[in-house]
Amino acid sequence: MSLTPLDIQHKEFPVKIKGYDKEQVNDFLDNVTKEFEEIIRQNKDLQKQLKFAEEKLQYFSNLQDALNKSIVVAQDAADRLKENARKEAEIILFEAEKSADRLLHEAAGKATKINEETDGVRKESRNFKQKLQLLVESQLNLIMNDEWKANW
C-alpha cells in the first residue's frame, strides 16, 4: 500500500490517557505531509528529467549510428576516388610516355633527314665549287693562252 499526503493528513490516532499532545502531533503530521508532497513533486520532476535524458540519449545514440555509417560511406567513397585517381594517373603517365616516345622517334627521324639533307647540300656545294673552280681555271687558261693574247 502506497502512503499519500492525504493519508498522512487525515490519519486519526485514538486518544489515551497521558498521550501525546494532539496539536503537536497534528503540526508534525502537517510538516510530514508538506515534506512528503515536496518529495513526491521532486520525484515526478526527476522522473520527467530522466525520461527526457533517456530520450536525448536515444536521439544521440541514433545520431551517432548515422554518423558512423556516414563516415564509413565517406571513407569508402574516398578510397574509391583515390583508386580511380591513381588508375587515371597511371593511364595519363602511360599515354604521356607513349607520346614522348613517339615525339622522340619523330624528332630522331627529322634529325636524320636534316643530316642527310645537310650532307647532300655539302656534296652539291663541293661539286659546285669544283665545277666553278674548273670553269674559272678554264676561263683563266683561255685568257692566258697565247692565242688570246695575240688577238688583243
- Domain definitions of the chain by residue range: 5-150
pTM of the model: 0.47
What one-character-per-residue DSSP string does 10-59 give?
A: T------TT---HHHHHHHHHHHHHHHHHHHHHHHHHHHHHHHHHHHHHH
What residues contact 73, with CB distance under 8 A and at least 6 apart? none
Query: What does the angle CA 135 – CA 138 – CA 144 come to, to the nearest 5 degrees?
Result: 140
Contact 9, 30 (CB under 8 A): yes
148 grid coordinates:
688570246
Residue 36 CB contacts under 8 Å (≥ 6 apart), including other chains: 3, 4, 5, 8
Residues sharing a CB contact under 8 Å with residue 47, sequence separation 6 or more, in sequence order? none
CB count in 10 Å sphere of residue 87: 10
Per-residue pLDDT of the chain (152 residues; tens, 9 = 90+): 577 778 777 777 777 777 777 888 888 888 888 998 999 999 999 999 999 999 999 999 999 999 999 999 999 999 999 999 999 999 999 999 999 999 999 999 999 999 999 999 999 999 999 999 999 998 888 888 777 666 66
